Amino acid sequence: MKIEKIQILKGPNIWSIRRKKLIQMRLDLEEVEHLPTNKIEGFRERLEKLIPSLITHRCSEGVEGGFFQRVVMGTWMGHVIEHIALEIQTLAGMDTGFGRTRETKSPGIYNVVFSYLEENSGVYAAEQSVEIAACLIEGRHYDIDACIQELREIRERERLGPSTGSIVEEAAARKIPWIRLGRNSLVQLGYGVNQQRFQATITGKTSSIAVDIACNKELTKKMLDEAAIPVPSGDLVSEPEELEKVIRKIGYPIVLKPLDGNHGKGSSINVNDMESAIIGLQHAQAYSRRVIVEKYITGYDFRVLVINHKMVAAARRVPAHIVGDGEMNIQQLIDKENLDPRRGYGHENVLTEILVDKDTNELLEKLNYTLETIPHKGEIVYLKSTANLSTGGTSIDVTDMIHPENVTMCERISKIVGLDVCGIDIMAENLTQPLKESGGAILEVNAAPGFRMHLAPSEGLPRNVAAPVVDMLYPQGKPCRIPIIAVTGTNGKTTTTRLIAHIVKNNGYRVGFTTSDGIYIQNTMLTKGDTTGPISAEFVLKDPTVEFAVLETARGGILRSGLGFSSCDIGVLTNIKEDHLGLNDIHNLKDLTRVKRVVLDSVRKGGWSVLNADDDYSMRLMPDIESKVAIFSLDENNPHITKLAKEGKVTCVYEDGFITIKKGDWKIRIVKAINVPITMEGKARFMISNVLAASLAAYLQGFAIEDIANSLRTFIPSPALTPGRLNVFRFKKFKVLIDFAHNPAGYEAIEDYLKNVDSPKKIGIISGVGDRRDGDIRECGKIAGRMFDHIIIRNEKHLRGRTEDEINGLVIDGMQSSGKDVSYEIIPKEIDALKHAMSLAEENTFITALSDVISNAIDLVQEYQHKEILEEGTTL
């Protein structure tokens, strides 16, 4: 078996709109294609022995053990690999559960698709599932435990932390989109101007000064003390002499902690002699030169969480410990405690496994214990000096037990320090009494406090502390999204996208849009190239200045990674025509339709799908679309238009020379087509179709008719604004048209336009595209033969697996089948072909250059235009 390709899908895709995170593995089974599972002796037994938990997979049988039933009956190895990939992720703490395996049109080659939680773990699961299957087939040993552990380690390296993850989950539950910025915990919620950012539990609203105060423990202590809030007595020291002086003043027991420390690092507690104090000083100075020495306050360790200056949760924290039974030693008791199903590796479970480290050994040494010591029955032996959950500590929720006076005090502390998300550490016998009565004290105030102890306490009620963070970032009525119009289809996408963006900009929005020639914010190109994929869409949505997004969305990006947005307000489908067929398992228009409908399926509830009523495959989608649907047509008598008009629905038509919105039988005329420059005085019907699509989308978005009309009148086609989209250059004797047309439908659109061009000699410069089907290349040649008097065949720079002679032969075959005797010549280089065509030009000659790469042609023609202007000036 051989993995041909692994793709990471991150957004709505052809397999699922809801399940955005999928691995798509293209797998060649090779000789295993002829070995279903029931023909491999002992396969089921080896599989069940290696991964017995697969018994829970119900599969299509719908019962526990259903997958194993399929294995016994005989199923293909791609299906088995799908289930293995899902199960090893589950065993590593990543329960996902969605999978599909489909054979491609290439025999023995399958697309194995399954969900993942972390990208790299998904890729690793894909690779290892194939290796596991190979080992099972051949009867070789496979170390499943090592695989699961590696997956866990990948997960811990890649995943968002518990606090960040909880906020993301809460936002997602509210349908707030999110984007991870980089590989760490920096996350963007929302899109464009409505975005909010946070990292761990530091938000975009967190004051930098407040963080500095919280990180300076001595300053925090001073500010709280001056505000009559109880804090332990103590001072700052750097030298042993200073330490001895402070101890004489406050007495034992003491606590030492680094001034700039966090998460309990470098701390020593309940120190009762000078020798231990010196060791504690040295330990703390590994983190900070200056060390806080405080009176050790007896009691329990509490953490109170305050968000947006409101107390939301409180927990008692208990350091990792074991309880003696009089029989087992400390190491055995640790091992027993780690068998608790609530404990896991890293953050995979409510509790973390207890690991023996330097801190553990130091604590045991103080008790004159070792790991072999057998504690007395009921004896509690603490294994960590701090109560952090990440080191095996536990937490007990006490939110409902905290005294109102303590609540008020904690909320006041958050305002004194200035933190929007604030963790307050308290040492006290309890929180049911005011601190001034219980003798407790505030130990620390923390910026970026962890949420895990509140989200999943080992005892007591879990508290959804992520909710108040999202409430703070997005109070009621504050939008999180910006309007998104996504445009897909075979031809006309870029022009339609630019038209819509022009209308949006003219209505006062700062618009970001993606096209096949670049990413634009307003009219400034920020990135050049084909930017119609998910990365480009995300570029626009991450820009904090963008108020409205118009996103050209091509098939390549959808197939490669899915959509770059979770949903859109309006999805526009211009048409579905033969192009790029035979690539990436897209072999016919039905396959292509499946890709294009991803955009329409992503339209939000209450949004609109805009379809071309003149396009058969587009209209086949109409019954299955869940959003509202509006259609457009060049013919107001189109039967689909007539049907929707009778139902009182909104449509857009070209009638009597006008671009017209119809609401039922009522007509709202926007503008005459001849007054819309992009239509070439109404001669370019395919451009009129693009105008209809853009006008209908703009109308459905809520823009006024007069604003749409003004925008259409002021959208002037040019090489700068619409490169390669019906660009006409006028010379003294002839004209040159450059267009992006590169498929049969595009050629037919140019043919329709040229029928309205009065010229005695029409010269065409064309080429075949190597990654198109033979029939598509021939069809382009046939159409060219019909519309030109003389043809110059040139060669594309990238032949994409074919030879020049092979491609040219297909073009010539097509030309000769056109029924017209047309002359032709072959000039390989585009620049030479253009120069030669212009040298052949007579009075009123019309030259048309068609290509899917047009920048070089435009540059050359503009250079010739400039020379002609200079020559005319010299003559004058």
What would the 3-class secondary structure string for 145-195 be? HHHHHHHHHHHHHHCCCHHHHHHHHHHHHCCCCEEECCCCCEEEECCHHHC
Residue 481 dihedral angles phi and psi, to the nearest 5°: -105, 170
Residue 722: predicted pLDDT: 83
Residue 656, both tokens: 């009597």
C-alpha 324, offset from chain centre: 50
Task: Tell me the two tokens of residue 677.
Answer: 């420059």
CA distance 207 to 787: 68
CA separation for the pair 169, 165 (Å, rounded): 6
Q: How many angstroms separate the CA atoms of 388 and 651, rounded? A: 62
Q: Among all chains, which residue has been given the structure tokens 């000699």?
A: 761
Beta bridge partners of 254: 271, 295
The model's pTM is 0.86
- Sheet of strand 568-573: strand arrangement: 524-528, 518-521, 511-515, 548-552, 484-488, 568-573, 603-612, 628-633, 650-655, 658-663, 666-672
Q: Is 674 helix (H, G, I), strand (E, B) or coil?
A: helix
Among 678, 586, 696, 571, CA closest to 633: 696
Nearest residue to 49 (alpha-carbon basis) of 147, 122, 142, 120: 142
Neighbours of 756 (CB within 10 A): 12
3-state secondary structure of 628: strand
Parts of the chain with a pLDDT under 70? 261-264, 797-800, 852-855, 872-876
Distances (CA, A) of 767 to 101, 500, 577, 619, 778: 38, 31, 19, 32, 11
HEC string of 583-627 equals: ECCECCHHHHHHHHHHHHHCEEEEEEEEEECCCHHHHHCHHHCCC
Residue 360 burial (CB count, 10 A): 22
3-state secondary structure of 370: coil
User: Amino acid identity of 468?
Assistant: P
Residue with tokens 């993301």: 168
Q: What is the pLDDT of residue 876?
A: 45
Would you tell me how many other CB atoms lie within 10 Å of the CB of residue 679?
Answer: 25
Strand partners, 100: 113
d(Cα 637, Cα 642) in Å, to the nearest integer?
A: 6
CA distances from 611 to 607, 631, 697, 729 (A): 13, 5, 10, 33
The percent of the chain in helix, strand and coil, each rounded to the nearest 5, is 40, 25, 35
Residue type at 840? Answer: L
Q: Residue 570: name the closest of 479, 645, 497 by CA.
A: 497
pLDDT of residue 263: 61
Round to whole Å and give the CA distance between 52 and 632. 56
Angle at 154 between CA 149 and CA 156, to 5 degrees: 95
What is the distance between the alpha carbons of residues 256 and 705, in angstroms, rounded to a whole number? 72
Burial class (CB in 10 A: 0-12, 13-18, 19+), 372: exposed
Q: How confident is the model at residue 726, as a pLDDT? A: 87
First to last CA, the chain: 75
Q: What is the pLDDT of residue 20?
A: 87
Residue type, 614: D
Type of residue found at 432: T
